[in-house]
């Protein structure tokens, strides 16, 4: 199934003040505080997938690497203008975290678009989600989270048609590599969010990613990137697929444990399928619908488990 998806991958950033309230195990304000970051993650997922639908229409104009370059450059400019991050007063470790975060974003986006140039987009998203799922298993400290991860993994494979035979092995390798970078993105997004106020660290990391990727985009697409229509569509893709979701995820990761966040990322194929139906008029088979139901059930279980625990983001997540 060709889902119109793009790497998150994570608009003008939503600069939401993050309080230090620790949610409680019961209902009331504590439960609402725990659900807050979950809403941010879900909103980011919807944004990135509908931005991906737009990116699908742009790729014939600018190429895969050109689309990524436009996304990163426009996103970097918007974040710099809105956030106006402070350059002084940061430690060497702070800057190191930002640089690695930027490299991770550039690699995640570049690898994903190389994969969709070789294999169906929906399959690429399905393979990419395996990265966050693996992270949820590795860092989880509760057996129940392994159950939710396993259920989501089963849904992911069903969404891929029950198997991945006959696919271009290079495209599969690119998608799996993008998934590994997605897992790294989760880790370094959380670390960046704790070291920099608001979305300052994200803005600086986006500049790093753009600087690294622009030469590749120019080499592939050249002056095609300067066509007004292409620039306008690229800006829209950047708004939906980079700036808004990355900002929402960074804010969410200050409050949400990495295992729960990683399992929530398994919703991406389901959201992509919905975007495909609404934007590109792609229908769903019974098997694909069942896969989406499994993934959603796993994500809801992970969220309910986390809310019940009433824990904030662990320092080492």
Higher pLDDT, 116 or 86: 86
What digits encode the pLDDT tens for the residues 36-61?
Answer: 788 888 888 888 878 877 887 888 88
Mean pLDDT across the chain: 75
The predicted model scores a pTM of: 0.72
What is the average per-residue pLDDT within 11-16?
A: 29
What is the average per-residue pLDDT within 20-37?
A: 45
Which pLDDT does position 167 carry in this prediction?
A: 72
Which pLDDT does position 304 carry in this prediction?
A: 67
Distance of alpha carbon 111 from its chain centroid, rounded? 13
Sign of the four-CA dihedral 98, 241, 8, 307? positive
Which pLDDT does position 177 carry in this prediction?
A: 94
- Asked if pLDDT for residue 314 goes beyond 50, the answer is no
- Asked if pLDDT for residue 8 goes beyond 50, the answer is no
Judged on CB neighbours under 10 Å (0-12, 13-18, 19+), 92 is exposed
SS3 label, residue 310: coil
Number of Cβ within a 10 Å radius of residue 189? 28
Q: pLDDT-derived band of residue 162, with 50, 70 and 90 as boundaries?
A: low
In the structure encoding, which two tokens stand for residue 129, read together?
A: 């989600």
- CA dist 126 and 103 (Å) reads 23
What digits encode the pLDDT tens for the residues 73-103?
Answer: 988 998 888 888 888 878 888 899 999 999 9
For Cα atoms 169, 170, 174, give the angle at the middle one, nearest 5 degrees. Answer: 115
What digits encode the pLDDT tens for the residues 205-247?
Answer: 999 999 999 999 999 888 888 889 888 888 888 888 877 887 7
Residue among 62, 55, 54 nearest 224 (CA): 62
pLDDT more than 70, % of the chain: 75
């Amino acid at each position: 199934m060709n889902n119109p998806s793009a790497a998150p991958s994570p608009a003008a950033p939503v600069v939401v003040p993050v309080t230090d309230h620790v949610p409680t195990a019961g209902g009331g304000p504590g439960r609402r505080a725990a659900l807050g970051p979950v809403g941010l993650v879900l909103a980011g997922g919807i944004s990135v997938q509908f931005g991906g639908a737009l990116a699908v229409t742009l790729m014939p104009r600018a190429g895969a690497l050109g689309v990524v370059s436009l996304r990163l450059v426009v996103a970097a400019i918007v974040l710099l203008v809105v956030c106006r991050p402070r350059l002084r007063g940061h430690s060497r470790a702070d800057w190191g975290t930002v640089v690695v975060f930027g490299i991770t974003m550039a690699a995640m986006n570049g690898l994903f678009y190389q994969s969709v140039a070789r294999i169906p987009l929906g399959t690429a998203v399905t393979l990419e989600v395996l990265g966050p799922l693996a992270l949820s298993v590795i860092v989880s400290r509760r057996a129940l989270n392994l159950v939710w991860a396993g259920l989501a993994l089963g849904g992911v494979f069903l969404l891929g048609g029950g198997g991945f035979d006959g696919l271009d092995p290079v495209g599969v390798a690119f998608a799996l590599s993008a998934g590994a970078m997605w897992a790294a993105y989760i880790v370094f997004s959380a670390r960046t969010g704790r070291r920099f106020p608001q979305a300052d660290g994200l803005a600086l990391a986006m500049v790093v990613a753009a600087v690294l990727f622009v030469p590749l985009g120019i080499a592939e697409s050249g002056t095609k990137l300067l066509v007004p229509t292409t620039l306008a569509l690229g800006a829209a893709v950047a708004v939906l697929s980079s700036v808004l979701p990355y900002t929402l995820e960074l804010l969410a990761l200050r409050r949400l444990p990495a295992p729960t966040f990683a399992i929530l990322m398994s919703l991406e194929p389901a959201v992509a399928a919905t975007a495909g139906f609404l934007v590109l008029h792609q229908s769903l088979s019974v098997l694909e619908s069942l896969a989406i139901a499994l993934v959603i059930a796993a994500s809801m279980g992970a969220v309910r488990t986390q809310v019940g625990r009433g824990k904030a983001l662990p320092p080492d997540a």
